[in-house]
Amino acid sequence: MNNTQQRVAMGYIKGVFGIKGWLKIAADTEYTDSLLDYPEWHLSKDGKTLTVTLESGKIAGGELQVKFEGIDDRDQAFALRGYTIEIPREAFEPAEEDEYYWADLVGMTVSNKDGVVLGKVNSLMDTGAHDVLVIDGGHGRKLIPFVSYYIETVDTENRTITADWGLDY
């Protein structure tokens, strides 16, 4: 999987902080400081990709702030604004039993208990109470709560999900 390894967007660089190269990060992770678990980040914007190494990071005022090796002043930091932060999928910790990374669910085929294919997982939404699968397919868009009441099985090997969900829902 080397050069074509799957990278997962985990947030973006929203601005600079101070004059010594610190950056403000908008993290799309469950916990704001989760990105600090990864020493190497891939940054992408407009077809350009950079690899940076985390030198330091902290939460200040509920906001993630980081410093990369070799980015030592405000101008260098400012040039990175708007870059998407990507982490290689294989760098993720293994998921706990019956837990899944959103990135692994996207693209899975969802069928109901009657064997009718509802479509593929396009994305997920966090409603606060629980996650919701956004499924697009021949029967239109379906929103299915990702909870055990509706989700019968998740087969990561065959990339399929079976849901207790009727076509008329």
What span, in angstroms and rounded, lies between the C-alpha atoms of 73 and 37? 24
Give the number of other CB atoms < 10 A from CB of residue 32.
15
Q: Write the CA distances from 66 to 16, 25, 50, 73, integer angstroms.
A: 10, 7, 16, 13
Write down the pLDDT at residue 67.
Answer: 97
Q: Is the pTM of this model over 0.75?
A: no
pLDDT (average), residues 70-87: 96
pLDDT (average), residues 93-111: 90
Query: What is the tens place of the pLDDT at every residue in 117-164?
Result: 999 999 999 888 899 999 999 999 999 999 999 999 999 999 999 999
Closest to 17 (Cα-Cα) out of 50, 85, 63: 63
Burial of 11 (0-12, 13-18, 19+ CB in 10 A): buried
pLDDT at residue 86 is higher than 60: yes
Domains and CATH numbers, the chain: 7-91 (2.40.30.60), 102-163 (2.30.30.240)
* Helix or strand run (H / E) with residue 14: strand 7-17
Write down the pLDDT at residue 13.
Answer: 97
